[in-house]
Structure 1
Amino acid sequence: MSSLETFPPLPAASNTAHAFCERAGDGYPLGGFCWRHQLPDSSRPVVIINAATSVRCSYYARFAQYLFSHGFDVMTYDYRGIGESRPAAMRHFKASWTDWGALDFEAMLQRAAREFPGQPVDVVGHSFGGCAAGLAPSSAQLRRLVTVGAQFAYWRDYASDSRWQLFGKWHVLMPLLTRLFGYFPGKRLGWLEDTPAGVVKDWSTRTAAYELRPSGKALVDLPFAQVTAQTLAISLTDDPFGTVAAIERLLGYFRSSPRSHLRIAPGDIDEVQIGHFAFFHSRFQARLWPIALQWLQQGQLADDVPGRVLTLSEP
């Protein structure tokens, strides 16, 4: 599986971006970056990028710059507890997956409505970031949604050839270390960023239903069903998290959205490996990024798109 550590570090922002601080509904300060065109245009979409669990928003800076160069305004941000939104002390800091969607992503939607009034709002969600798109109370306003490897870590959905290795790492060792330290010290282990204990509980809980995670709510109270955005789920065949079962499990929650699932094998673009993280690496700017761009621009796939479109299983 591709890892973040194999890639060169990305700048926190390019010279076209500016940093911002936005307070969530509960007052928590969230740090992020915005790529904004000088002249306002109510027809220009603004794209919010939702990061994967415990991945800093700076990882998506080049992809954000790419979207900006193709006519979008773009916002990236860190969830509470991560990167630009990290507290002074992580031990026993309270945050959960549902907080990341219902409070933090919601804050970005509120900022977009205020800073870009009247503009369409699109989202690109990586891994859990795709799930977060369905947790915000204002998510009904979304126009288009692109997810990459998006799922919520149900362990039986992991790829069969690495399932037990991933189970031991993320569902046994990670919660044990979290109990010891009061948070998951991922950075010193080279396993992504340090992670709040509540997020670890959500990730490591062994249930197939998001609403049964520790921070979940009754399904009727989750905003997923109000999302009507044209949705493209991109998955990679060598992503051990983003299997067909995992992708479709999350897509099932977006039942009011028109949904497409594009499954890409590395060989489809003459590569050996892509994995869970590398879609957003700049070496794929010419071969993978245009897929997301066209969906955001037109809500459809090109005729010559690599991979194959899967028919979604019946619920």
Structure 2
Amino acid sequence: MTEDITQTTIRFAATDGWELEADIYTSPSPKIAVLISAGTGFPRQFYTGLAMYLARQGAVVLTYDYRGIGGSKGKDLARSGIDYPDWGRLDAPAALNALEEAAPGLPLTHLCHSVGGHFVGLMPNHSKITRHAFVSVGTGYFGGHHLRNIPSELYFWWVLGPYLLLRYGYIKPAGGWRGEALPPKLFKTWRRWSQRRSYFQPDLATKLAPHHYDEVTAPIRSWIFPDDPIATPSTASDLLKCYPAAPHEVIIRTPSQVGVTRIGHEGALRKGRDALWAEFSNWLMGAS
């Protein structure tokens, strides 16, 4: 059925006019629409396999690059002024509107990887979404992560990151950072939040105002994996507390339960994870 799936690349304007790039995957008889919001530093192409799978199950799927990433990079990352909340306040809402336009009349759902689940409360149009699938979504607080991961995180925040900013003006993929290049302001906000268990919550009354975290009521199912050093049960729980009005549940899956040797922080989205993808699809379709 793969040959029946069509993939189209589109460009559209974010809320403030920044041009974003996205891919839309459509099947002949779709039942739902799925917005896939990426993790930090992941280009939209990382989610192509999952998007194709969901389309084969009967979904219209939109993957997109946040500003500063991939096809939405812009011209001068070092001077762009891009901040972390921009992805949720300006980019995700525009992507959801683009999906709604591509799939008129279909229920809108949301699959979030990592930071993709952090910013639902910044989306002024979040109420259009009927349900959320969180995959490896937990706060960035380093103290809640696996102990073996903490030294490398502190190195990234306080040694590698500052060095890359000094030399290049932005976070270049080098020295252990394997994601896409990141803007300087975004990196500094991410680092500041990640030094405290409360993460972004102290900013809700100031830098993140106005917001909609208390208003999100669409149900959230959150998948967590024991070998994920970042999205742990404790950081996942802390993040879900930011959505007090949303019904939620946490699903813990071990690699052996889904027939693989490793999942980690990004493995649930890699090819060959059909057992997990079926769970995501069933939830988004409303079948479980």
Distance in 2, matches of 1:69 and 1:94, equals 39
How far residue 221 of structure 1 moved from its aligned partner, in angstroms, is 2.7
How far residue 93 of structure 1 moved from its aligned partner, in angstroms, is 1.5
Mapping 1:215-294, distance limit 5 Å:
217=206, 221-285=210-274, 287-294=275-282
Q: State the match for 1:74 in structure 2.
A: 61
2:86 alignment partner, one of 86, 96, 99: 99
2:110 maps to amino acid:
V
2:286 maps to amino acid:
Q
Deviates more, 1:151-160 or 1:182-191: 182-191
- Which secondary structure state, in structure 2, belongs to the residue aligned with residue 228 of structure 1? coil
C-alpha contact (below 8 Å) 1:144/1:299 kept by paired residues: no
Distance in 1, matches of 2:110 and 2:74, equals 26
Q: What CA deviation, in whole Å up to 9, does each residue of 1:257-289 have, x standing for no partner?
A: 11010111223234332101111111112x211
Deviates more, 1:56-65 or 1:139-148: 139-148
Distance in 1, matches of 2:282 and 2:159, equals 40
- Which secondary structure state, in structure 1, belongs to the residue aligned with residue 109 of structure 2? strand
Q: State the match for 1:57 in structure 2.
A: 44
Distance in 1, matches of 2:151 and 2:176, equals 20
Q: State the match for 2:160 in structure 1.
A: 173
Q: State the match for 2:283 in structure 1.
A: 295
Q: State the match for 1:17 in structure 2.
A: 7
C-alpha contact (below 8 Å) 1:127/1:148 kept by paired residues: yes
**Cα distance, 1:222–1:240 mapped onto 2, change above 3 Å:** same
2:67 maps to amino acid:
R
How far residue 115 of structure 1 moved from its aligned partner, in angstroms, is 3.2
Deviates more, 1:21-30 or 1:267-276: 267-276
Q: Which has the higher helix share?
A: 2
Q: State the match for 1:307 in structure 2.
A: none
How far residue 87 of structure 1 moved from its aligned partner, in angstroms, is 1.1
Mapping 1:150-161, distance limit 5 Å:
150-161=137-148
Task: Calculate the TM-score normalised by the size of structure 1.
Answer: 0.83
Give me the CA root mean square deviation: 2.2
Q: State the match for 2:71 in structure 1.
A: 84
**Cα distance, 1:241–1:131 mapped onto 2, change above 3 Å:** same
**Cα distance, 1:265–1:299 mapped onto 2, change above 3 Å:** same
C-alpha contact (below 8 Å) 1:133/1:139 kept by paired residues: yes
2:57 maps to amino acid:
H
How far residue 177 of structure 1 moved from its aligned partner, in angstroms, is 1.9
Q: What CA deviation, in whole Å up to 9, does each residue of 1:222-251 have, x standing for no partner?
A: 212222112111011011101111111111
Q: Identity of paired residues, percent?
A: 26
**Cα distance, 1:203–1:220 mapped onto 2, change above 3 Å:** closer
Distance in 2, matches of 1:245 and 1:170, equals 21
**Cα distance, 1:121–1:187 mapped onto 2, change above 3 Å:** farther
Runs of 4+ in structure 1 deviating by more than 6 angstroms, as ranges, are none
- Which secondary structure state, in structure 2, belongs to the residue aligned with residue 104 of structure 1? helix
**Cα distance, 1:187–1:244 mapped onto 2, change above 3 Å:** same
Task: Calculate the TM-score normalised by the size of structure 2.
Answer: 0.90
Distance in 1, matches of 2:110 and 2:5, equals 23
How far residue 35 of structure 1 moved from its aligned partner, in angstroms, is 1.1
